[in-house]
């Protein structure tokens, strides 16, 4: 678990340049001075099972992955003992209202939740020392967690089948 916390902390640092909240401006600035900025892989939701199979098989750097379409809709597929659950970290103030929406979603679907943090400093609000994380303990196989992730993206974040997500990390 400490490895996950460290990895997600490093991921949060990296997102400022190349991840979910990247508007392209920072990357363009870095590229203009000769610094290569890697571009995250991009998929639609129908390709998520393949990504999760790679995570489960240990063919990725971390034992989790995330999808992010517009900077506020970032959800992470965490793996523990071969089963998946979903985490959402509210790094910006525009993500904070989604914590309540996700709690309601979890309640409606009888998913246990855990409120925690990765000890990351919020990007643009200061009333909390650390960004809150809501963990939906779905404990599901790949097909089931993809359905839950798709449902969250569509009902809470208003995305659709054609939404393109960056894979993070």
Q: Which tens digits make up the pLDDT trace of 109-150?
A: 999 999 999 999 999 988 989 999 999 999 999 999 999 999
Answer whether residue 64 shows pLDDT above 70.
yes
Percent of the chain with pLDDT over 70: 77
Instruction: Classify residue 81 as left (phi > 0), alpha (psi -120 to 50) or beta.
Output: left
Please tell me the predicted confidence (pLDDT) of residue 68. Answer: 96
Please tell me the predicted confidence (pLDDT) of residue 3. Answer: 47
Please tell me the predicted confidence (pLDDT) of residue 80. Answer: 92
Domain ranges of the chain: 2-168
Q: What is the mean pLDDT of residues 50-61?
A: 93
HSE-up (13 A, CA, CB side) for residue 99 = 17
Query: Helix, strand, coil shares of the chain as percentages rounded to 5?
Result: 40, 20, 40
Q: H helices within the chain, ranges in order?
A: 2-18, 25-32, 48-56, 96-108, 142-155
For 101, the token pair is: 């929406």
Answer whether residue 5 shows pLDDT above 50.
no
Please tell me the predicted confidence (pLDDT) of residue 9. Answer: 44
Residue among 84, 92, 69 at smallest CA distance from 146: 84
Distance CA(158)–CA(40), nearest Å, equals 22
Backbone angles phi, psi at 10, to 5 degrees: -65, -40
Q: Which tens digits make up the pLDDT trace of 79-108?
A: 998 899 999 999 999 999 999 999 999 999
Please tell me the predicted confidence (pLDDT) of residue 38. Answer: 59
**Per-residue confidence at 35, pLDDT binned at 50, 70, 90?**
low
For 68, the token pair is: 């992010």
Answer whether residue 47 shows pLDDT above 90.
yes
CB atoms within 10 A of CB 66: 27
Answer whether residue 156 shows pLDDT above 50.
yes
The rounded mean pLDDT for the chain is 84
Please tell me the predicted confidence (pLDDT) of residue 117. Answer: 96
């Amino acid at each position: 678990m400490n490895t996950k916390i460290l990895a997600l902390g490093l991921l949060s640092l990296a997102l400022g340049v190349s991840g979910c909240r990247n508007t392209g401006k920072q990357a363009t600035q870095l590229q203009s001075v000769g610094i290569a900025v890697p571009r995250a892989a991009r998929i639609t939701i129908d390709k998520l099972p393949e990504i999760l199979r790679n995570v489960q098989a240990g063919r990725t750097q971390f034992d989790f992955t995330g999808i992010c379409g517009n900077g506020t809709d970032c959800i992470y597929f965490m793996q523990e003992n071969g089963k998946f659950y979903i985490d959402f970290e509210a790094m910006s103030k525009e993500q904070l209202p989604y914590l309540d929406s996700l709690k309601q979603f979890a309640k409606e679907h009888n998913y246990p939740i855990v409120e925690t943090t990765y000890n990351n400093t919020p990007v643009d609000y200061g009333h909390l020392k650390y960004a809150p994380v809501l963990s939906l303990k779905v404990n599901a196989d790949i097909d089931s967690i993809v359905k839950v992730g798709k449902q969250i993206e569509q009902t809470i974040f208003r995305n659709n089948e054609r939404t393109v997500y960056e894979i993070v990390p």
